[in-house]
Structure 1
Amino acid sequence: MDFAALGQTLACGQCFRWRKTPDGAWEGVAGGRFLRLTEKS
């Protein structure tokens, strides 16, 4: 996505059970699947 900041989206309080890892990725469960999300810089 070019239009959303991952950190702002997942840390806003509307998304639950997501955690930021020490390497800057975000991990959580959505749709019964474990996801690990990263952003390109």
Structure 2
Amino acid sequence: MIINKSGIAIRMEVESLRVMGRATQGVRLINLRENDSIAAVERC
């Protein structure tokens, strides 16, 4: 679960995320607005 300072929460299963390879740039889990930031990350 990812919660931002605006109060938006996104819940996802860790198993549903793909494993990164050597030539990848990662996975974007949340798009943040200009003055927003992550408040909490928790493994469900």
Sort the TM-score into its range (normalised by shorter chain). under 0.3
- Which of structures 1 and 2 has the larger relative contact order (alpha carbons within 8 angstroms, sep 6+)? 2
Structure with more strand by fraction: 1
Q: Which has the larger radius of gyration?
A: 2
Give the TM-score of the pair, scaled to structure 1.
0.23
Give the TM-score of the pair, scaled to structure 2.
0.22
Structure with more helix by fraction: 1
